[in-house]
Structure 1
Amino acid sequence: MKIRRLTMHNFGVYAGTNTFDFVGDKPIVLIGGLNGRGKTTFLEAVLLSLYGANSFAYKESSFKSYGQYLKSFVNKSDETMSSFLELEFQMNDVDSDVYMIRRKWEDQPKKRTTEVLYVEKNGVESEFLTENWPMFIEDILPSALSNFFFFDGEKIAKLAVDNTNDQLKESIRAMLGISILDTLRGDLTKNIKRIEKTKDEEDEIAKVNVLREVKEEAENALKAIDNEIQEVEEKLANVKNKIEQKKGEYAAKGGDVIGKRDELLSKKATIEANRHQVDDRMIALASAELPLALVKDLVDKISAQAEIEHNAVINQQANVRLNELVKTFSEMGNNVSGLEAFINFVNNEADNDSVENIYDLSDVARVQSKQLSSNRISDSVATVVENFTEKSRLDSELDEIDNYLSIDINEDDLNQIYRKILKLKKEEAELSVDLESLNQKRSTANGTMIKATSEFNKKVTAYLNRVEANDDADRSLKYTEMAIQVLDRYSIRLQEKKTDALANTITACYKKLANKKNLIERIAMDPVSLDLSYLDKNDNEVDKASLSAGEEQLMVISILWALAICSKKKLPVIIDTPLSRLDSNHRKSLIQVYFPKASDQTIILSTDSEIDEKYYELMKHDVGDEFTLDYCDETKSTSIQRGYFVGGEE
């Protein structure tokens, strides 16, 4: 597993959005910052992103609820009162899947703070991972093992004092796989209690009889309700039939007409008004050009003759004008001999085109005759046809309405039938309410009957099984007790075997780090209590009090290093303030031996006094990414800068 990105928005001292992008190909990531600048916040952000409420940072805190813990991290600088974390990581080089987990929450007054979880796989939202993230992360990195990989150097030194603390013991048991045996032992113990409880139950027959009576009462109650429902349904069907009959009788006697009389009268008045409008339009057409439709052929001939006469007049006028122009041209001394042939031709043509004026229409009369011939008469005829069709339709509607209105109706009889219908409808409504109430009662009674029948059947089955299985229960109790005894012995043997391997790994790790190699020859672990003992070359126990503060811290780092190795999990290591209690030799050992080999990705959160320029140069060739936490006194917030305090990127 390798962390590729961590984004913090309004989280702790990190105001706004701040992102760590881990792109280097070397094992060490160096993050520098003075005290109070956000190093521990970085560690808690990773733990919170992965584990949420299962984070050991939350469990070790003083907050009474997870919501209060989340609220404590909200940076209020931009007044949005909203925070989120995004952690993106890749499983390993073989499994190239990339996961991104996002937790978001808000600090709202007088409201419980809750988070919204969102998970992506390879850039696509995964509903399964979003819903099952705690189970998924526990499979990758159980929370009980997380403090092997993510730890605070200031706190871990306390683990080396006296005997191994309870939290570390539980983590060791989880890593060794012994906690699974504890769970199995607990399940077997519960099984013993269940068997003993089963054997102690008495008066089973009496209990069966009581449940039988309850079941029979429930069945009888349900049957009685079913009878009532059937009776009401029959009454309701009878009433509905009567209503339909009365409605038919009401309609046959003209009831529908009575109800529609006002509507029909209003519709009749509208139709008559429309009919008058049609008559008016037809009168207007008859008083205009419509009568000319009777002599349409004559109108067409007049229009054609008028056009011929009009053209002849125009030609004669043009000929006169032409002769006048030639005469004027000649009087001006010009030779017109060349034009005489053309002029004679024009005069002859004019004589040939002359016609007798029969109608001698004016221009206005000629245009009107042309319009009448072209479309006005035919348009008038078409309009008359449309109006005749409309009038016929309106006459049909009037006849139909008059037929309705002419029906002989006895309103007294209708009123009597109508009152009967209202009475029947009231009865129908009351029966419907009764039926609904009975159906609700039946639903409740049916549920009671089903429950009583189920409990009776379970009790009978359990009783019969118990009668047949008393011997089986005794055998189960015996074998369960034997299994617990075997499990206890196996657990001890397993712990002995695995604790020896773990102790040897701790010894190897410590010898790689410590300077006093001749003082502690090996480290032993009690297979039952899991307490550690430090032994010299003569197998005499070395007093833990003789270790310096730095040696104590190296011892715990050796333990955590060994636990991580034995867990066989390829996970990143995050160390907060790792060198604060170490002298120069121990620091050099940790920098040159532990940091490069602790994991494929080791993130170190350090002050400038822990890893100064000297130690930075020692480890520089193993450093892939470098960051400095830059704190602004004015805004009281931290931002992320590329490069370490000294020698880093600018």
Structure 2
Amino acid sequence: MILKKISLNNVGPYEGINIFNFNTDKENNTILIGGKNGSGKTTFLNSVRLALYGPLAYGFKTTSNEYLKKISSLLNSNALKRQRSEIKEYEDEFNIRIDFSMIENFTRIHASIIRKWIVEESSIKEKVSVIKDGVEVSEVEKDQFFTHLRTSFPPSLLELCFFDGEEISHLTDEDNLSHYLKVLSSKIFNLDLFQNLEQDLGNYLNQSSKSKEQTELENEKEEYESKLNEKIQQLQQLSKLVEDTEADLEANKQRYQDVKKDFSLHGGIAYEERTRIQNEINEIEGQRKHLNEKLKEFIALELPFFIAYPRLYELVEQLKNEEDFHVSNILKDKIENLPVNQIIEKLGLPGNQKQEEQLKDSLVTHLAKTDDVKIIHNASKTEAQQVYGLNSQTSLNNLQEVFNLIEENKNLLLKTQDLKKKLKDNEESPEFADMIQSMEEYNRIITDLEDKLENYKDQRHSASDEVEDLNNKYEKVKQQLHKIHKTKSSFEESQKIIQISQKFQQQQLRNKIKDIEYFSSKMFKDLIRKEEFINHITIDPKNFSLSILDHNNEFINKDILSAGEKELLALSIIWGTIMSSKKELPLILDTLLGRLDNEHKHSIVTKLLPKFGVQNIVLSTDSEIDPKLYTSLQKTTANEYTLNYDALNRKTNIEKHFFNLRTEKVEQ
């Protein structure tokens, strides 16, 4: 993979559109980016990871809420404020675009990945586009593209292409360098594919060859066989009971029909007729019970008022008289207060006081009752209405309805007596009585047999369900056992594959390690200032431990190396591994020269970087590279940038020069 360009639009401190051009060639393979701490170098590195791998850059498998929270914290704060403000003159866009080339199906393609984030009021959505050779691909092709990208250039390999001064210093420890070399070799030579295959096969074998599981399944199979046989026998017995009961029931039904036929032929009342008569008697008894309830209710509630009707009548008259008396008194008061003189004048009649008194007396005589009434009850209007209602109910019509109920009850009693006599006369015949008793006995037997048959059928249905359930479980266990037995046949083949894979990796490592030893020795000799100090670097293919041999092939104690020389050794091993892989890798070197002296810095700039890779992106502070070193480095640089953070406006500005050391570079 070769990076071509990355565009950051409102990402981190990069407000607006900011472009880094990474185009390099064989002679100019270095991109130099300068910046003080806090100027945006970390955001730049994270943007490269994010553009290529999205959620995988943060360890997430999908575009989850946690991933989008990370994105939210990465977006430029000034643009977010504008985006979320109530008044918007324009809408800011948030995206990263990375352009690169890579080999796909033995052909170099040029691709672009655009990750765009749409900011809404309370959420963020991500949209990803892929452009291959100038054409945007479909969703299916996009999935295929990312699958190929993760396979050929996985995120773990990209991380191995990022170096900073702290990591290189950490690798000066022999154990750390050996571990790093082991991991780098696995990734860069694609041996991790075989290791993953071995792990998958190992898991497969562990899952398919568990003797304990097989033993448990075999015991379970025997247990299900025993229970299944027991339930099948029970089901057969229940089926036999159902058949026998059905035959017995049919026989008793036939006997009952025979007796019933004889009973009808000899003049007895048929059983159905007896049942009908008995039902009719029961219905009449029910009607009589209802009539008796009504009569009892009448006796309890209304009869006393019929008996005391004269007193009730007197009460009604007294209440009416008291009511008239009260009304008359009210009328007298109103007549007394009438303006009679005005009425006479309106009529055009001559009037005097005597005539007025006569008129009032006449009105009282005609409108009001003048007899005195003794007030006894002084009942309210509601109480009086209740007494009037009771009086209206205590009438001859209501009494006649009661007489009708008594007569109806009498008639029903006579009808019941006739029906009971008819049954009794029929049953008193000894011959008929025996027949009736036989029919009743057969009917009882039939009822018992029907209940028993229903119970047997329910038991048979439950037993059938249990047999089906046990059979399903039994078949499932059989399939699992069959799978284990079948898997065992592939057990040896899987082990052979693992053994072949391990042998292949060992052979590949031996061959590659020889190349790493050669390239690393050559580079370390060029970088170190001590002439004739070393002859060869050796690497153990089993544990990747390093040894340095002098010209007499004697081991050199690595502890005598200075800190700077140990860094040169680590860089030589890394360069030798990359050269052995023959892969196109973009190498990003952050503050690589910070801990080295000027002589070692000069060696790296003039001898290592020109050969380190097809593309080197060097991130540096202003204290790492002085004018003299810059002059040497400038010979192989393709583009130079300086990141200046504007604290007042809280944004990073990109300038196309390296701090105050300027040179003319042509953008490609």
| Shorter-chain TM band | 0.5 to 0.7
| Contact 1:4 1:88 (C-alpha < 8 Å) held by counterparts | yes
Deviation of residue 638 (structure 1)? 1.0
1:17 equivalent in alignment to 2:17? yes
Distance 1:453 1:102 in 2: 57
Equivalence for 1:74: 75
Matched ranges for 1:95-134 at <5 A? 95=107, 97-105=109-117, 115-126=126-137, 127-134=139-146
Q: Which one of the candidate residues 23, 31, 34 is aligned to 1:29? A: 31
1:8 equivalent in alignment to 2:19? no
User: Secondary structure of the equivalent of 1:163?
Assistant: helix
Distance 1:481 1:96 in 2: 38
User: Secondary structure of the equivalent of 1:91?
Assistant: strand
Distance 1:517 1:605 in 2: 31
Equivalence for 2:221: 204
1:592 equivalent in alignment to 2:606? yes
Deviation of residue 88 (structure 1)? 0.9
| Contact 1:117 1:130 (C-alpha < 8 Å) held by counterparts | no
Deviation of residue 65 (structure 1)? 5.7
| Contact 2:41 2:619 (C-alpha < 8 Å) held by counterparts | yes
User: Secondary structure of the equivalent of 2:32?
Assistant: strand
Deviation of residue 455 (structure 1)? 7.8
Residues 208 and 560 of structure 1: is their aligned pair in 2 closer, same or farther, counting only changes over 3 Å? Answer: farther
Q: Deviations over 1:228-261 (max 9, x none)?
A: xxxxxxxxxxxxxxxxxxxxxxxxxxxxxxxxxx
Residues 451 and 563 of structure 1: is their aligned pair in 2 closer, same or farther, counting only changes over 3 Å? Answer: farther
Deviation of residue 101 (structure 1)? 0.9
Q: Deviations over 1:266-316 (max 9, x none)?
A: xxxxxxxxxxxxxxxxxxxxxxxxxxxxxxxxxxxxxxxxxxxxxxxxxxx
Deviation of residue 625 (structure 1)? 1.5
Q: Which one of the candidate residues 162, 170, 180 is aligned to 2:193? A: 180
| Contact 1:33 1:607 (C-alpha < 8 Å) held by counterparts | yes
Distance 2:547 2:41 in 1: 33
Residues 544 and 104 of structure 1: is their aligned pair in 2 closer, same or farther, counting only changes over 3 Å? Answer: farther
Equivalence for 1:626: 640
Residues 620 and 517 of structure 1: is their aligned pair in 2 closer, same or farther, counting only changes over 3 Å? Answer: same
Matched ranges for 1:190-589 at <5 A? 190-193=203-206, 194-197=208-211, 199-200=214-215, 201-202=217-218, 203-204=220-221, 207=224, 469=485, 473=488, 476-478=490-492, 480-481=494-495, 484=498, 488=502, 491-589=505-603
| Contact 2:97 2:114 (C-alpha < 8 Å) held by counterparts | yes
1:90 equivalent in alignment to 2:109? no
1:156 equivalent in alignment to 2:168? yes
User: Secondary structure of the equivalent of 1:36?
Assistant: coil
Q: Deviations over 1:63-103 (max 9, x none)?
A: x9645543442331232487432111123799453211122
Distance 2:190 2:96 in 1: 32
Residues 87 and 572 of structure 1: is their aligned pair in 2 closer, same or farther, counting only changes over 3 Å? Answer: same
Residues 534 and 145 of structure 1: is their aligned pair in 2 closer, same or farther, counting only changes over 3 Å? Answer: farther
Q: Which one of the candidate residues 182, 186, 197 is aligned to 1:169? A: 182
Deviation of residue 587 (structure 1)? 1.4
Equivalence for 1:295: none
Letter in 2 for 1:648: T
Q: Deviations over 1:149-201 (max 9, x none)?
A: 33223322211213135455322223344333333332332343212356432
Q: Which one of the candidate residues 150, 164, 178 is aligned to 1:138? A: 150
| Contact 1:575 1:605 (C-alpha < 8 Å) held by counterparts | yes
Residues 2 and 487 of structure 1: is their aligned pair in 2 closer, same or farther, counting only changes over 3 Å? Answer: closer
Residues 83 and 543 of structure 1: is their aligned pair in 2 closer, same or farther, counting only changes over 3 Å? Answer: farther
Letter in 1 for 2:530: K
Distance 1:209 1:619 in 2: 85
Residues 139 and 462 of structure 1: is their aligned pair in 2 closer, same or farther, counting only changes over 3 Å? Answer: closer
Deviates more, 1:132-141 or 1:599-608: 132-141
Distance 1:145 1:451 in 2: 53
Residues 451 and 119 of structure 1: is their aligned pair in 2 closer, same or farther, counting only changes over 3 Å? Answer: farther
Deviates more, 1:41-50 or 1:485-494: 485-494
Residues 47 and 204 of structure 1: is their aligned pair in 2 closer, same or farther, counting only changes over 3 Å? Answer: same
| Contact 2:224 2:473 (C-alpha < 8 Å) held by counterparts | no
Equivalence for 1:442: none
Letter in 2 for 1:86: R
| Contact 2:3 2:23 (C-alpha < 8 Å) held by counterparts | no
Deviation of residue 133 (structure 1)? 4.9
Deviation of residue 48 (structure 1)? 2.2
Q: Deviations over 1:192-224 (max 9, x none)?
A: 32123564321336557989999xx9xxxxxxx
Equivalence for 2:662: 647
Q: Deviations over 1:422-458 (max 9, x none)?
A: xxxxxxxxxxxxxxxxxxxxxxxxxxxx999998766
User: Secondary structure of the equivalent of 1:171?
Assistant: helix
Q: Deviations over 1:402-436 (max 9, x none)?
A: xxxxxxxxxxxxxxxxxxxxxxxxxxxxxxxxxxx
Distance 2:554 2:616 in 1: 36
User: Secondary structure of the equivalent of 1:42?
Assistant: helix
Distance 2:520 2:32 in 1: 26
Distance 2:41 2:581 in 1: 27
Letter in 2 for 1:45: S
Q: TM-score, normalised by structure 2?
A: 0.53
| Contact 2:227 2:470 (C-alpha < 8 Å) held by counterparts | no
Aligned residues: 407
Distance 2:133 2:499 in 1: 48
Distance 1:585 1:114 in 2: 51
Letter in 2 for 1:20: F
User: Secondary structure of the equivalent of 1:605?
Assistant: strand
Letter in 1 for 2:584: K
Deviation of residue 107 (structure 1)? 7.9
1:611 equivalent in alignment to 2:625? yes
User: Secondary structure of the equivalent of 2:16?
Assistant: strand
Letter in 1 for 2:197: L
Residues 204 and 548 of structure 1: is their aligned pair in 2 closer, same or farther, counting only changes over 3 Å? Answer: same
| Contact 1:11 1:73 (C-alpha < 8 Å) held by counterparts | yes
Residues 210 and 178 of structure 1: is their aligned pair in 2 closer, same or farther, counting only changes over 3 Å? Answer: farther
Letter in 1 for 2:98: L
Residues 517 and 637 of structure 1: is their aligned pair in 2 closer, same or farther, counting only changes over 3 Å? Answer: farther
- Greater Rg by CA: 2
Gaps of 5+ in 1: 218-449
User: Secondary structure of the equivalent of 1:618?
Assistant: helix
Deviation of residue 17 (structure 1)? 2.3
| Contact 1:30 1:627 (C-alpha < 8 Å) held by counterparts | yes
Equivalence for 1:317: none
User: Secondary structure of the equivalent of 1:128?
Assistant: helix
Deviation of residue 6 (structure 1)? 0.7
Q: TM-score, normalised by structure 1?
A: 0.54
| Contact 1:5 1:88 (C-alpha < 8 Å) held by counterparts | yes
Letter in 1 for 2:221: E
Deviation of residue 143 (structure 1)? 2.7
Distance 1:210 1:17 in 2: 76
Letter in 2 for 1:47: R
Distance 1:554 1:12 in 2: 34
Letter in 2 for 1:163: D
Distance 1:161 1:114 in 2: 44
